[in-house]
Every structure is written in C-alpha cells, then in structure tokens.
Amino acid sequence: MLDWESLFKRYVWNDRTTPYFIAAGKLTRRQADSEIFAYCLFVGVLFSVVALSAMSEQSPHGRSPLVMLYGFTVVFASLLLNYTKMVPAAVYLGATPLAGLIYLMIYGIGSAREAVDTAVVTVVLLLLLWYSLRLVKIARQYPLLVEGNEESPRRRLFK
C-alpha cells in the first residue's frame, strides 16, 4: 500500500526545499532554486503544450501563429528564469495568468464549454496570478539570499 502523505511531502511539499509559506526574503538560495524550478517546470510544460496545440487545426480557435509564438516565448522565459533568476523573466512569466484570463474572456465565455469548467479555470488562473507575485519577489530578492548551510539528501525516485 502506498503512503500518500510521505510521497506528497517527498515530491511536492518538502519543508527544507519548498516551504511555500516562508516570506521570499527569508528563503535560502536552495529553497528559492527549488521553488523557481517547480514553477518553471509547471509553466514550461503547460505552455509547450499550448504552443504545440496552437499549430494544429483542432484547437478551438484554429491554427494560431501568435498563440504559438507566445507559448514558445513563455517556455524560453521559464528556461531563462530557471537558469539566470532574472527579474524581467519572472515578470514575463508572472503575466502568463493574465494572458490566460484574457484568452478565457475571448474564447471561453459563451462557448460550448460548461460554465463550471470556465469558473474552475478562472479560479486556477487567479491563484496562479497571486502566486506569480511571490515568484517576482523571489527573483528580486535572489541576489540577497543566503546559501543554505544544511545539506539535504538527494531525492531519489525509490528508497
């Protein structure tokens, strides 16, 4: 039987690497690196799917070169933020939920999609927008953060 609580703590919420409720200025660099990596991985995968689906005729708006270009720029910005911790990249990534809300307003309201689905996506985008403010704060504070003195063990897939 799987122990879901330990798996969740091990891969999603680890007090030493990703303490989401600690202020951005009090994080260590290792914690900030882990948090930025998790966000960049999530947004990078999401927008690579968006960019690839925008090249298809099967998307709700048909083939869209502008959506494809925006998706690829977000993937590039997530790579840039993960490796350089630049504030402009964090601001650009922080604006992606706004772009999602604008897209939802244009293509989501009044479409064949259920109203509950649109409401759930809107709530998720608003939560991402709220979290993106923390991401920008972390990027701004990153040069001032101290190196972590604790040595945490490497994460492995299996024990």
Q: What is the pLDDT of residues 13-37, one digit of tens each?
A: 666 766 777 888 888 898 899 889 9
35 belongs to a structural domain: no
Q: Could you give the number of structural domains in the chain?
A: 1
120 belongs to a structural domain: yes
The residue with greater pLDDT, 90 or 146, is 90
Do residues 96 and 43 touch, judged by C-beta distance below 8 A?
yes
157 belongs to a structural domain: no
Distance CA 118, CA 137 (A): 29
The residue with greater pLDDT, 145 or 6, is 145
Task: Give pLDDT, residue 105.
Answer: 84
CA atoms within 13 A on the CB side of 129: 13
Containing structural domain, residue 100 = 40-144
Reduce the DSSP state of residue 131 to 3 states and report it: helix
Task: Please report which helix (H) or strand (E) contains residue 30, including its range.
Answer: helix 29-54
Task: Give pLDDT, residue 8.
Answer: 64
Least confident of 39-53, 56-70, 117-131: 56-70
Q: How many CB atoms lie within 10 A of CB 78?
A: 27
